[in-house]
Structure 1
């Protein structure tokens, strides 16, 4: 199994940090994604984020769904 890259770890950390900062759980993320037309369930979201293997599009969907307008990369 390939190792995670530093970039994948950073993306995973950014998403988790934004979720924590906004107080959004995986169940809440699933609900918010559904509101913008993306159907996924809590378990799938948890697994996808935990693996750190997701697209830039998925990251942007999640950040939009939780209301992130500004993102610090440092």
Structure 2
């Protein structure tokens, strides 16, 4: 299995932090994604965030679903 790159880890941590900040569980994220037309299962969400393997489009869908309007990325 390929190792998670720093960029993949950063993307996964960014999304996990935003979910935590908003108090959204993976199950709730699945419901919110469904509301915007994205069919996803909780186990798939958990795996994607665990592996850090997801597209930029998926990241944007998740952020949109949880109504995130701005992010502080903190790149140096």
2: CA distance between counterparts of 1:26 and 1:2? 24
Render the CA deviation track for 1:1-55: whole Å, top value 9, x for unaligned. 2211110000000000000000000000000000000011111111111110000
Aligned to 1:38: 38
Unaligned 5+ segments in structure 2 are none
Aligned ranges for residues 52-63 of structure 1 at < 5 Å?
A: 52-63=52-63
Unaligned 5+ segments in structure 1 are none
Runs of 4+ in 1 over 6 A off after TM superposition: none
What's the TM-score, normalizing by structure 1?
0.97
Number of corresponding residues:
74
Q: CA RMSD in A?
A: 0.6
